[in-house]
Chains A and B, each alone.
Chain A
Amino acid sequence: MNIVVCMKSVPETTAEKRLLSDGTLDRDSVPVVINPWDEYAIEESLRIREKGDGSGEIVLLCMGPEGSTETIRKGLAMGADRAVLISDPALHGSDMWATAAVLAAALKNMQYDLIMFGSQSTDAGGGVVYNIIAEMLGLPAVTWINEIEITDGKVRGKRGSDVGYDVVEAPLPAIASVTQTANEPRYPSLPGIMKAKKKEVANMSLADLGINGSQVGLQGAKTAVTGSERPQSTRQKQMVKVEDPETTAKVIADFLESRKLI
C-alpha cells in the first residue's frame, strides 16, 4: 500500500510573530515546524504500514518555500521514505484553491492508495484544501477522523458528531484527514535522523507540473489579503487573591453580575 502524506511547514506556535511593513507575516524571522496536525497524519501512515505487511512507500508532499526542506527532514526522520517539495517564486500568495490545484497536479503523477492530510493547518488554514483536491481528483474522502483503519480495501475512522461519533468509510484509493489521535507522533530516533539525511527530497517547480504561474500565486488567487493587524487586548486583568473563599466567591459573582453574565 502506497501512502502520500501532505504536510505543510508552519511558523512555530510559540514563536514571536513580526510583521513586515506591508502587513504580512515576516516568515523568515520565525522558526518553522511540521503543522502539528500533519504530524499525526505522518504517525498514522507509519502505523498503517507497520500494522499491514510492511510493504509500500510513504512519500511526503509539501508545497512551500525552499526552507521547508528542514521540516521535511523531520518527517523523513520519523520514517517516511522520500519527499517531494514544490517550490516556486510564483507560488507566493497562493490561496486555498491554488494550493489545492498545485497539490492535485503533483498527486496526478504519484502512486497512491491513500492520501493523508492533517484536518487543518495552524497558520492560516481553513481545513478545506483536501476536499478541493478530492473533488479535483474525483476521490472519496474521510475527513476529521481518528482511530483510522484499513480493512477490505477501505479506509475507515471515527468522526465526531453532535451526539457521539460516526464511523465513516470510503473505498481506496481515497483521501483521509486526521485529527489529534491517541497515538502521539513519534520522536525521530538518532539512526532515523542519520538515515533521513540521505533520503531523497525531490524539488519540483511549476514548470515541472505543467502549471502556468499566472494560474496560481498572487496573480491567480481568487482571494487577496487587504490588511492585517494585531488584535488589541482589552482584558481587564483584575486580580484577586483568595483569603476567605466565601468572600472570593462573592467577588467573582459580583464581577459576573457587573458584566451581565448571571
Chain B
Amino acid sequence: MNSTRTFSRNTILDSVRANQPATQPMPTIPHFHTNKPADPMATFSESIARMAGVVVTQDVPNLDSFLRAKFPDAKVICSAIPEYGGTIKPESLNHWSEASRIDVCILRSPMGVAETGSILLSDIELQVNTIAFLAHDLVILLDPKQIVSNIHDAYENPYFKLRPYSLLMTGPSGSGDIGGIVVHPAQAAKTLTVLLSPAPDAGQRTG
C-alpha cells in the first residue's frame, strides 16, 4: 500500500501544483473586540439557553445535595473533578463504551464563550472522551472569570494547538432532522447544566 500511497500523493500534489491559481494574500484577522459583550456572564447565559443548556448562577454550597435533588434517579455519577467523589471516576472505566452506564457526569471546564454559550473541554478534563457523549446528563462547573468574549478569543486557547482532542460544547445533543422540529436529545447527552462556580485557586489545589 505504501508505494501506491506515495504515487497517489505525488499525483494529487502534482495536479494541485499545476492547477492552483496565482497566490493570493492571507488577510489579517481581527478579534472584533469593538463588539465585546458588556456582561460576558449574562451573554454566555443567554447564548447557552438558546441551545437548551441551563445555567445555575446561584451558589451551590453542596454539590452532592444539588446533584441528588436534580437527578433523584441517578445511580451512577461520574466525577471528573477532584473535589467531588461521585460514584465512579473516569479512570475506573475499562473500555470507553462503558461510559454508557453513567447517569450523570460532572466536569470542570477551563473556558466559556459568551458569544455562543460554549464551554471548552479536552482530553485533560474528560480523561475518557466518551463521558461527555454517552452520559445521560452533564453538569459542568465553569468559573465566570474564565468566560471569553467571542470565538476568536476562544481559539486562542492553547488547547487547540496542544491537545489531541478539544471540544466546544454548546448545550445537550439535539436534532432538527425529523420534520424540521428541534428535539433534545439526539444521540448524545440529554441535558447540560452549567454551574457558574469560581475555580479553586492554585494554592488550594496544590496544597
Q: Do A and B come from one complex?
A: no
Q: Which residues of chain B have a CB within 8 Å of any CB of chain A?
A: none
